[in-house]
Amino acid sequence: MGALDEVQDLYRVRFDGAEKAAKNALWKIICGHLQRYFPAQGTVLDLGAGYCEFINNIQAANKIAVDMNPDTVACAGPDVVVYNSPVVPLPFLDTESVDAVFLSNVLEHLADKAQVMELLRDVHRYLRTGGRLVVLMPNIRFAYREYWDFFDHQIPLTEKAVVEACLMAGLHAVKVIPAFLPYTTKSRFPQWGFLVRIYLGVPLLWRIFGKQALVVAEKRAP
């Protein structure tokens, strides 16, 4: 069995059809909140796109999804270009060709911190000046009890470690929320749309229930 087949099998076990539909509905609302970081007329790259809940629901003129899971191709909307590939390296992307990059629950799956740095340096190269990297990630600071419950988690990270790694790669943090979303949609994440909207609109709730960090970094002119 190859690596692509293993990824496919893992995520088919992790999320059934009903869960995938529920996640897509949640992400439609989350994307409404995150849209401020993504230019509606720009090019958005979703690395580790999974079932395309983010890239299908964010507004962008050009959408690119990258994931090892063969199911990603079938899940992508008609306006999404999909590359069935690991997130590092990405030889098919041009230098300074994208306006924003999204990494949701990706960094902790990489083999080691050297690969994290390789990915972040690649992101810096793909981004145009003024472009943004948006990272959503489980924060080991708050999710230390559940962090290793997922078979494919490899390395523990906090928001401070990611900010430091971004700076080493030439990306400057402009927004850091240590506790933003709950750990996973399988945990205490509100499942009804109106509750999700209330949650996203009340930062105090993030501090109580949030176990995932949000880091926004930008590429500045030399």
Residues 99-126 pLDDT 10s: 999 999 999 999 999 999 999 999 999 9
In the chain, how long is the greatest CA-to-CA distance? 47
- pLDDT confidence band for 189 (50 / 70 / 90): low
The three-state secondary structure class of 204 is helix
Is residue 85 scored above 60 in pLDDT?
A: yes
Matching residue, tokens 């499942």: 191
- pLDDT confidence band for 188 (50 / 70 / 90): low
Residue type, 72: T
Domains of the chain as residue ranges with CATH: 3-219 (3.40.50.150)
Phi-psi region of 48 (alpha: psi -120 to 50; beta: other; left: phi over 0): left
- pLDDT confidence band for 23 (50 / 70 / 90): confident
Average pLDDT (155-181) is: 97
Instruction: From 51, 11, 19, 22, select the one nearest 151 (Cα to Cα).
Output: 11
Neighbours of 109 (CB within 10 A): 16
Tokens of 129: 């000046």
Residues 130-152 have pLDDT tens digits of 999 999 999 999 999 888 888 88
| Percent of the chain residues past pLDDT 70, beyond the cut | 87
Query: Do the beta carbons of residue 65 and residue 83 sit within 8 Å?
Result: yes
pLDDT of residue 203: 97
What pTM was estimated for this model as a whole?
A: 0.88
pLDDT of residue 20: 61
What span, in angstroms and rounded, lies between the C-alpha atoms of 52 and 67? Answer: 9
pLDDT of residue 10: 42
- pLDDT confidence band for 5 (50 / 70 / 90): very low
Higher pLDDT: 22 or 214? It is 214
- pLDDT confidence band for 24 (50 / 70 / 90): confident
